[in-house]
Amino acid sequence: MTILGIDLGTTNSLACYWDGDKPVLISNALGSVLTPSVVSLGEDGQILVGQIAKERLVTHPQLSAATFKRYMGSRRELHLGTLPFLPEELSSFVIRSLKQDAEAFLGKEVTEAVISVPAYFNDAQRRATKRAGELAGLKVERLINEPTAAATAYGLHGEQSETKFIVFDLGGGTFDVSIVEIFENLLEVRAVAGDNYLGGEDFTELLASLFLQHHQLNGEELNDKELAVVYKQAEQLKQNLSRGKAAEMRCVLGERELTYSLTHDKLEKEAEGLLRRLRYPVVRALQDASLRPENLDAVILVGGATRMPLIHAFVSKLFGHLPACSINPDEAVAIGAGIQAGMKARNLALKEVVLTDVCPYTLGTDIVRENAAGYKESGYFFPIIERNTVIPASRIKRLYTSHNNQKAIEVEVFQGESRLTKNNIELGRLEIPVPPGPAGREAIDIRFTYDINGILEVEVTAVSTGVKRRAVIEETPGSMPQAEIEARLAALAALKIHPRDKQENQLLLARGERLYEEALGDTREIIALWLAAFEQALDRQEERKIKPAAAVLKQRLDSLEQGYF
C-alpha cells in the first residue's frame, strides 16, 4: 500500500511517496513537481487545477481562486463564478489533482495520505485540512507540521552532524519557525512560532504597490484583471531580483505600457517592515526553547521565498550562520511528508526514527478571579496545556465552584496566549452538573488530551459525584457536521477535474489568452493568429499534427515572454 505525502501549500502543492528506500517526488501532467494551489472553473464546468488555473487567474479572475489556504478553517466562502466553496473544498480539488498524478505515476489507486500543515495551524484549520483530504477521497490519519517535515527531510538525508537547528520556512503565505533537535536518530521539535499572514506574496504585494506608487496609480481604480496583471509582473520582478542586482517589470494597463525598475538595495530598504516582522517569531521560538542564536548548529531554509538573497542575508545576520539549503527549499516539506508516509506504512528502513512534536498554542479554560474591589470577574485565561508542550500530551487541572449554590460548571475551552480569554479563540464548551453548596466546596478535574494530529479531547469529572462529561471538540468554528460533509462530498464528486492527458494543450491556450490580454496592437494580432492556428490543429484531432503545432506555439510564447519578440 502506498501512502502519499502531501505538502498542501498556500502557493504550491507537491506529492511525494516512499519507494521502499527513498522519497520520490511525483511530477504532474505538465512535468513539474510543483502544482500551483490555484483552482478555476472551466467553460465546460470542469475544475481546472494548477498552472492552467494560475493562468486563468489573470484572464478569468471571477472563475478562479488562489491562496485559499489563508482562510482554511473558517466558514468563509470563496466563489468560482457563482458557485460557492469553502477553503477546504477548493483544497480538495488540489489534492484530487495530486492524487490523479500519483495514480498515473504509480499505476495504481492511492487511498491514503499524510498531509503537512503549518505548525501554527489551530484546531479548526487542522480539521479543515483533514477534511480536504477526505473530500478528495483520501484517508488522512496523520497530519504533520511543515517544519517538522522539513526537519525530517534534513535529518535523514542531509549529511549534517548538527544537533540543534532552526527551520526557517517562508512560503507564499505563511511563515514558520521551529527549533528542532536531533540526537542519535531521534528528532524532536523544541519550539514553534510563526505568522500565518506573512509570506513571499507580501513581498510581491510590496513590489506591486511600489509599481503603482511610482506611476501614481491607485490600486482601487484598477479592475481585477488589471490588478492581476500588475501582480503577476511584480512576482516576475521579485524572482528576477533573486537572480540579479536589478530588474525591471513591464505592464500593459489599458492603452499604456508602464515600466518600473528596481535594484536589490532599494528592495532591501523597502522591505524593512516585512523583515522586522520576520524577526518576532524567531525571537519567540528561541526564548521558548531557552536558546540563543549561537546555540544553534544550523539554520535550514525552507519555502520558495527563502530564495530571495535578502532573506539569505537577513538570516545570516540574525544567526551568524550561513543557512543550509542543500535540499531544494520548495521541496523539503513534501520530501519530509513522503518520508513520514513511508514511516506510517511501517517501512522498516525508518523504524529507528522517533518523532515527537509540540502543541503550537496554549490550550486552557476560562476562570473567575476576584478583583481589587472584591467582585468576582470571569474572563481570565487558565492554561492547561502550555504551548510547545511535547505531544501527545495529557494534563489535569482542578477547579472549584466560584459562587454559592452553583448547580453546574461551564467549562469553556480556549486556545491562545492572552491573559484574557476574549483575546483567545474559543474552541468549544461543555457543562457539568455539581451538587449545590457554598462557593469553593465542589471541585472538577479537567483533563485536556492533545493528540499527535493536534486534535483536542476534553474530559471533565465532578470530584464528589464522579459524573463525567467528555467532548472531542467537534463543533469548532469552521467545522462541519458529518451529514453536511457527506452531502458536500457527493456534490464535489460530481465536479470533474480536467483529465491529465489534455493539460499541456490547455495550458498553451490559457497562457496564450493571458499574453493576448496583456499585449497591445500588433502583438495581439499575432498572438491571435498563433492561437487560431493551434486551435485549428486541435480541431482536426490528428495527434500527428497536434504535437508539432504545440511545440511551435510553446516556442513562440516562450520567446514572447522572454521579451525576444
- Least separation, in Å, of the C-beta of 33 and Mg ion? 13
Contact call for residue 389 and ligand ADP (CB under 6 A):
no
Q: What share of the chain is helix, strand, coil (3-state, %, to 5)?
A: 40, 30, 30
- 357 within 8 A of 148, measured Cβ to Cβ: yes
Contact call for residue 11 and ligand ADP (CB under 6 A):
yes
Respond yes or no: is residue 69 known to be catalytic: yes
Respond yes or no: is residue 146 known to be catalytic: yes
Catalytic residue among 54, 55, 69, 123: 69
DSSP H or E stretch at residue 284: helix 272-288
Contact call for residue 173 and ligand ADP (CB under 6 A):
yes
Q: Which of 88, 330, 459, 518 binds ligand ADP (CB under 6 A)?
A: 330
Number of residues that bind ligand ADP (CB under 6 A): 22
Instruction: Considering only residues 305 through 324, tell me which ones interact with ligand ADP, judged by CB under 6 A.
Output: 305, 307-308
Separation of alpha carbons 428 and 413, rounded Å: 5
Q: Which of 99, 131, 142, 238 binds ligand ADP (CB under 6 A)?
A: 238
Q: Which of 123, 235, 366, 412 binds ligand ADP (CB under 6 A)?
A: 235
Catalytic residue among 89, 146, 235, 366: 146
Residue ranges in contact with Mg ion by CB under 5 A: 9, 171
Residue whose C-beta lies closest to Mg ion: 171
Query: What is the DSSP code string of 392-435?
Result: SEEEEEEEE--STT--EEEEEEEESS-SBGGGSEEEEEEEEE--
Q: Which of 201, 226, 366, 518 binds ligand ADP (CB under 6 A)?
A: 201
Bridge partners of 5, per DSSP, are 16, 114
Contact call for residue 233 and ligand ADP (CB under 6 A):
no
Catalytic residue among 89, 101, 169, 331: 169
Separation of alpha carbons 119 and 29, rounded Å: 30
Q: Between 148 and 505, name the residue whose CB sits nearer to ligand ADP.
A: 148
Separation of alpha carbons 16 and 4, rounded Å: 6
Respond yes or no: is residue 7 known to be catalytic: yes
Q: Between 308 and 385, name the residue whose CB sits nearer to ligand ADP.
A: 308
- Least separation, in Å, of the C-beta of 147 and Mg ion? 10
Instruction: Considering only residues 257 through 276, tell me which ones interact with ligand ADP, judged by CB under 6 A.
Output: none
Separation of alpha carbons 53 and 36, rounded Å: 8
Q: Which residues contact 559 (CB under 8 A, 6 or more apart)?
A: 565
Cell 459525584 belongs to residue: 465
**Cis previous bond, 392, omega within 30:** yes
Angle, vertex CA 328, rays to CA 177 and CA 153, nearest 5: 60
Count of residues making up the chain:
565
Q: Which of 5, 9, 50, 87 binds ligand ADP (CB under 6 A)?
A: 9
Separation of alpha carbons 497 and 555, rounded Å: 27
Q: Between 80 and 149, name the residue whose CB sits nearer to Mg ion.
A: 149
Respond yes or no: is residue 123 known to be catalytic: no
The catalytic site residues sit at 7, 69, 146, 169
Footprint of ligand ADP (CB under 6 A): 9-12, 171-174, 199-201, 204, 235, 238-239, 242, 303-305, 307-308, 330
